[in-house]
Amino acid sequence: MPETPEQSAAGRFDTVLIANRGEIAARIQHACRELGLKAVAICSEADKEAPYGSTADSFICIGPSSAAKSYLNQDAILLAARLAGAGAIHPGYGFLSENAAFADAVEKAGLIFIGPTASSIATMGDKISAKRAMMTAGVPCVPGPDTALPDDPATIGRIALEIGYPVIIKAAGGGGGRGMRVVPKADVLHEAIALTREEARKAFGSPSLYMEKFLEHPRHIEIQVICDDHGNAVWLGHRDCSMQRRHQKVVEEAPAPGIAPDIIQPVGLACVEACLQIGYRGVGTFEFLYEDGAFYFIEMNTRLQVEHPVTEMTSGVDIVQAQIRAAQGHVLDLTQGDVTCEGHSFECRINAEDPETFLPSAGVVTHLALPAEPGIRVDTHIHAGYKVSPYYDSLIAKLIVHAPTRAEAMARMREALAGTEIEGISTNIPFLRALFEDDAFARGETDIHYLEQWLKLRRAA
């Protein structure tokens, strides 16, 4: 008798190495434990005291503090996995999570990469090939060609005219809000191309650029998907991540407010269809800009995202566990009909940074109080006495709330923020408290530029 997928999954792995740090390392370890799996934590020298190290089954220091020599050191991570007997590697987000060569190296070492295949990562990691794949699958995209810009200035000028100014120049290999430049009119086009090409070459190792319409007042809306290896895929609702500073998300919510189900439904289904067409495995996010009732695909993230908890709160699905189970080869245990999103959820990213200048703030947390009321979740790895190091991203905690309605969820977040005390370092909590008192935000009348404008007005006041 042929094996059922469940049987073939049995024994695929029982130990997971978590190739990450901070709150997400703690979150993944928790998911492993609940699934009955052993967890291997790694650290750089700066993170030797990390609390998730003492709760892991093994804890291995893989290199010096600099990320390039530790969390980005593929050989050191693979060696640690071998030493600890791990059968799989979870990359978390950031670091090596969207590195196709790493996914490939993990599989070649005989381990399972908890994520999509290297080829899916490569296709989606290049924003031009991602756009082409999405157009083929019938997903709506931002107006503009699905090919790289040529070198010839006259042709580039023609493309911009066809799209219509303002346009945005983007690096095909860009990420993290970098490698983008808005061009308001023709006379600055060629200078913008030259600058962005140079930046792209330096930051992403490829000068490949593309151009699309710059949407002037869109919202950022994204769709979470989860797929197994057996041709099943579902979408778990949508999130609004329009509250951004320098193209970086600060507050996220699910569902996106004020979007009628019949508008979002076909987009969600198109995402599922795209996953099936490209043979996608695991969790992923389709990011869209939404303007005047229309959705435009901008990119796909082929990994777990920072903001996954808001979807966990509304859908009731543990996304990290589902991702690990998909990597084990299990058949997805829910169909689209089972997905029901309830209530409203917000997430605030608590960063170790100055609330006025946004400069990173390192040091020892001398006092910590976190809220613990019903409907509040805190994902963090910090504790009183924890030393925030200057080497990595400034995210130190995520404050997540869930309530029946958006207004109640906002009120709950105000309470959660009021009950959060972090001393010894600066955090953006004062700024988040002020933001949750804002009337336009409360009415859901914001777009991707709102937060920057709000900050400008506050500074001027």
Binding positions for ligand ADP, 292-311, rule CB under 6 A: 298-299
Query: What is the distance between the terminal CA atoms of the chain, rounded to a whole angstrom?
Result: 74
Q: Assign residue 343 a region (left: φ > 0; alpha: ψ between -120 and 50; beta: otherwise).
A: left
Q: Is 220 in the site for ligand ADP (CB under 6 A)?
A: yes
State the Cα–Cα distance between residues 333 and 319, nearest whole angstrom. Answer: 12
Catalytic residue check, 303: yes
Residue 72 has φ and ψ, to the nearest 5°, of: -105, 5
Which residue, 157 or 175, is less far from ligand ADP as judged by CB? 175
Least separation in angstroms between CB 230 and ligand ADP = 30
Beta bridge partners of 459: none
305-334 per-residue burial string, b: 16 or more CB within 10 A, e: under 16 = bbbbbbbbbbbebbbbbbbbbbbbbbebee
Output DSSP code: residue 276. H
* Between 142 and 365, CB nearer to ligand ADP: 142
46-75 footprint of ligand ADP as x/- string (CB under 6 A): ------------------------------
CB distance 198 to 154 below 8 Å: no
Kindly report the backbone phi and psi dihedral angles of residue 143, in degrees, each rounded to the nearest multiple of 5, phi listed first: -55, 135
How far is it, in rounded angstroms, from Cα 353 to Cα 286?
29
In the bound complex, what is the minimum distance in angstroms from residue 177's beta carbon to ligand ADP? 4
According to the binding rule CB under 6 A, does residue 169 interact with ligand ADP? no
Question: Between residues 249 and 402, which has the closer beta carbon with respect to ligand ADP?
Answer: 249
Smallest gap from residue 284 Cβ to ligand ADP (A): 13
Pattern of binders to ligand ADP over 171-200, x per CB under 6 A? Answer: ---xxxxx-x--------------------
Spell out, one character per residue from 242 to 261, where the chain touches ligand ADP: x when CB under 6 A holds, - when not.
Answer: --x--x--------------
Residues 6+ apart with CB under 8 A from 237: 223, 224, 254, 255, 268, 311, 314, 315, 339, 341
Site size for ligand ADP, by CB under 6 A? 21
> Residue 198 or 373: which CB sits closer to ligand ADP?
198
Q: Would you say 244 or 328 has its CB closer to ligand ADP?
A: 244
Q: In a 3-state reduction of DSSP, which class is residue 410?
A: helix
| Catalytic member of 303, 325, 349, 377 | 303
Q: Are 156 and 193 in contact (CB under 8 A)?
A: yes
**Would you give the binding string for ligand ADP spanning residues 120-159, x where CB under 6 A is met?**
----------------------x-----------------
Would you state the structure tokens that stand for residue 104, as one six-digit string?
Answer: 């490939």
Choose between 177 and 430: whose C-beta lies nearer to ligand ADP. Answer: 177
Backbone phi, then psi, for 433, in 5-degree steps? -60, -45
The piece of 156-164, 206-214, 349-357, 407-415 that touches ligand ADP (CB under 6 A) is: 206-214
**Residue 347: CB minimum distance to ligand ADP, A:** 16
Could you list the residues that contact ligand ADP (CB under 6 A)? 142, 168, 174-178, 180, 212-215, 218, 220, 244, 247, 287, 289, 298-299, 448
By annotation, the residues acting in catalysis are 303
